[in-house]
Amino acid sequence: MAARPTTRFAPSPTGYLHLGHAHSALLAWRAAREAGGRFLLRIEDIDRTRCRPEFTGAIAEDLAWLGLDWDGPVRVQSAHFREYGAALDSLASRGLLYPCFCTRAEIAREVAAIGAAPHGPAHGPEGLLYPGTCRRLLPAERAARIAAGQPYALRLDMRAALAAVDGPLTYEEVGEGRLRCDPARFGDAVLARKDTPASYHLCVTHDDALQGVTLVTRGEDLRAATDLHRLLQALMNWPEPAYRHHPLLLGPDGRRLAKRDGARSLRELRAEGLDPSAVRAMAGV
């Protein structure tokens, strides 16, 4: 890991920040500040159906109230679709992507039709593994469907991608050493969605590379994604950061804090009269 790490907090503005976010942001901020490194704030708002501008403004405000400061301008992903498109073009030009026209229902039907494997249908970290239907389409069929205006996602041809990189991939997990990656468990992952011209996996790795992030600090829930992220970094010749996946903050019921479970937001805690140091203590950092 770099002696003066560049860390980042990269929330999606789908709601107000809660204590789980504060925990993650404070860990990243402290890792940078204690070592004289840099701390960046990035807004991951590519999903235009779930993200709202008022939450973007609230994120900066809540972090500043907590006492966090960040270096340089805030990167807002939705302003950079063209850059993500260029990365996709690079992968496509090497035959590593293919258009997928399937709907969720079609994928489920196809998986059922393939027949029940002894342990049921194959699942990856993101649910049912894609059975590869559109990978097998002939070029003329693909072209005809695109010309007819059928919406499509772009999927990574996992087998081709693994063949394009050297040897097994690993990453450095702070406190644990080098860990082996198994990106194949994602199957042919979606890198551009039908409704969004890029996916989380593509944008996050693109931006970590562009912004010189050397230490990715994020929740344990994203640990599996790192296997796929390392593959994208290898394919794109992007530098490899170190990772620190921190345990998720749990609520009193022992379950992870999330907006949908009514976790109180930082602004609710603030409205209840708590001061930043009390909230930082609650966030466990």
The answer to whether residues 66 and 21 touch, using CB atoms and an 8 Å cutoff, is no
**Binding ligand GLU by CB under 6 A: which of 5, 7, 11, 265?**
11
The answer to whether residues 74 and 60 touch, using CB atoms and an 8 Å cutoff, is yes
The catalytically annotated residue of 135, 259, 267, 270 is: 259
Q: Is 227 in the site for ligand GLU (CB under 6 A)?
A: no
Q: How many residues bind ligand GLU (CB under 6 A)?
A: 7
**Binding ligand GLU by CB under 6 A: which of 222, 236, 242, 282?**
222
For ligand GLU, the closer CB: 91 or 204: 204
Q: Is 10 in the site for ligand GLU (CB under 6 A)?
A: yes
Any catalytic annotation for residue 259?
yes
Q: Segment contacting ligand GLU (CB under 6 A): 10-18, 32-40, 85-93, 252-260? A: 10-18
In sequence order, what are the residues at sequence separation of 6 or more whose Cβ sits closer than 8 angstroms to the Cβ of residue 93?
A: none
Site for ligand GLU in 152-211 (CB under 6 A): 204
- Token representation of residue 237: 């010749």
Tell me, residue by residue from 12 to 31, as one string, x for binding to ligand GLU by CB under 6 A and - for no binding: x-------------------
For ligand GLU, the closer CB: 141 or 261: 261
Tell me, residue by residue from 36 to 75, as one string, x for binding to ligand GLU by CB under 6 A and - for no binding: --------x-------------------------------
Q: Is 257 in the site for ligand GLU (CB under 6 A)?
A: no
- Token representation of residue 163: 């063949």
For ligand GLU, the closer CB: 102 or 228: 228
For ligand GLU, the closer CB: 12 or 133: 12
Q: Interface with ligand GLU by CB under 6 A: which residues?
A: 10-12, 44, 204, 218, 222
Q: Which residues are catalytically annotated?
A: 259
